[in-house]
Amino acid sequence: MVIAATSALLLLSAWLAVWHGVSLYRSLGRFQLPRNLPATDKQPTVSVCIPARNEMHAMAQCLERVLASDYKKLEILVFDDSSDDETSRIIRSFAQAGVRFVAGTKLPEGWLGKNHALDVLAKEASGSYVLFMDVDTIIAPSTIRRLVDTAIMENKTMLSVIPERADGWRLSVLFGHLRYFWELTVNSAAHPATASALWMIDRKTLLDNLGGMKAYQATAAPEAAIAARLGAGQYRSLVSGEEIEVLYEKKWRSQVETSKRLLYPRANGTKFGALIALGSLLLLNTPLFVLLSGFVLGWSLLQLIAGLTLIIGMLVYGIYSYSMWRHAWWAGVLAWPVVVLQELVLFINSLQGYYRHTITWKGRPVSPYPRPLPSEG
């Protein structure tokens, strides 16, 4: 009976891994832009808006990359959210290059810090498009130009780019979180693939039609909620590649903090969604658990099946790392058993943290019950 049940779980695990692989392959195809995307003669103004809080380690590099853009109709605004390190000084040092410093204000009640920063930046901006990007996001000189070309040629109101991993041979890469893996494998019209690393939206649509960020003031992933509301007709998911290059670097500890903040909301912030996500993660970890049981219970055909099932998961993750990592993608294949186990632990921590009201971000408490993503546009 136990053998039959375990075999059934392993078969379900293999099926789930294959399903993720098929979904990943389709997303990578749909979200890639065709080569030699035609350029447009139009050049609307773009406001690059960067929220920052204690980001001295990456602030200068971020601004240097933006200033190297070949898109000329830019304004650059950085919101310093009460940093207590050298972030403010670094931002101000770029004033002569045209970077506008926006001083942080007291966080209003009911707002997440980053969401408030995005709201202030959007209202301070004057461009036709607002491009939000994280400090640890790295862009190429042509990135903004190609984003504008895409928005105009495809008549889209909002774009979001799933970034590639820029650094390699670091624990933060090899054993990083699966945030963008889930975005590419578990997405739909109601829950489109998005990334807070870099997203661009028509400013008037954001402020006039959507009412700014106020409706999303306590939403853990506001870009996802906005994309879902706009729908496929106005929103386009993209992945970094030759046409639009967007990279990111993130320390492991920062990834852990981000995962705890986003994993439970990613499961729609509901008990049912949490049970589905938890069950899926347990299934994906079943081959590893069965394989390890061989050291205690002895080796049998079950462990062989578990090993083959684990290899399927490794190959699926290999497709992801090959497509989204700049270096050492093959090491990601070997790291899969640890990474998916880590994701299970992080999800449980996220679930517990929200129910115990202990989730924080940048030293500030996060709303105990994150608003779920809307189910329709």
- DSSP for 32-98 reads SPPTTPPP-S----EEEEEEESS-TTTHHHHHHHHHT-S--SEEEEEEE-S-SSSHHHHHHTTGGGT
In a domain, 375, yes or no: no
In a domain, 119, yes or no: yes
Which segments of 127-188 does DSSP mark as H helices, in order?
143-153, 171-174, 179-185
283: domain range?
A: 2-26+259-365
In a domain, 327, yes or no: yes
Under the banding of pLDDT at 50, 70 and 90, the label for residue 375 is very low
In a domain, 228, yes or no: yes
Same-domain status, 68 and 162: yes
Compute the CA torsion angle 260, 173, 373, 213 (nearest 10 deg): 90
In sequence order, the β-bridge partners of residue 133 are: 198
pLDDT for 128-155, tens place per residue?
Answer: 999 999 999 999 999 999 999 999 999 9
Q: Contact 164/324 with Cβ under 8 angstroms?
A: yes
Q: Which helix (H) or strand (E) holds 165?
A: strand 164-165
Same-domain status, 72 and 161: yes
Strands, sheet with 246-248, edge to edge from the N-terminal-most edge strand: 137-139, 246-248, 164-165
Residue 344: strand, helix, or coil = helix
Same-domain status, 349 and 265: yes
Same-domain status, 210 and 128: yes
Q: Which helix (H) or strand (E) holds 365?
A: strand 364-365
Same-domain status, 327 and 301: yes
Q: Report the pLDDT value the prediction gives residue 328, as an integer from 0 to 100.
A: 83
Residue type, position 374, single letter? P
In a domain, 298, yes or no: yes
Same-domain status, 130 and 279: no
pLDDT for 47-64, tens place per residue?
Answer: 999 999 989 989 999 999
In a domain, 90, yes or no: yes
Please give the C-alpha separations between residue 316 and each of 237, 294, 309, 323, 352, in angstroms, as whole numbers: 21, 24, 11, 11, 29
Indicate the residue among 251, 269, 301 that finishes a domain: 251
Same-domain status, 232 and 266: no
Res 372 pLDDT > 60 = no
Number of domains within the chain? 2
DSSP of 177-233:
--HHHHHHHS--SSS----TTEEEEEHHIIIIIS-TTGGGTT-S-HHHHHHHHH-TT
pLDDT for 184-219, tens place per residue?
Answer: 999 998 899 999 999 999 999 999 999 999 999 988
Same-domain status, 73 and 56: yes
Same-domain status, 247 and 277: no
Same-domain status, 265 and 192: no
pLDDT for 1-18, tens place per residue?
Answer: 778 899 999 999 999 999
What CATH number should be reported for the domain holding residue 130? 3.90.550.10
Q: Contact 52/135 with Cβ under 8 angstroms?
A: yes
Indicate the residue among 251, 273, 290 that finishes a domain: 251
In a domain, 82, yes or no: yes
Same-domain status, 142 and 225: yes
In a domain, 376, yes or no: no
> Hey, how many other C-beta atoms are within 10 angstroms of the C-beta on 36?
8
Same-domain status, 183 and 278: no
Indicate the residue among 232, 251, 270 that finishes a domain: 251
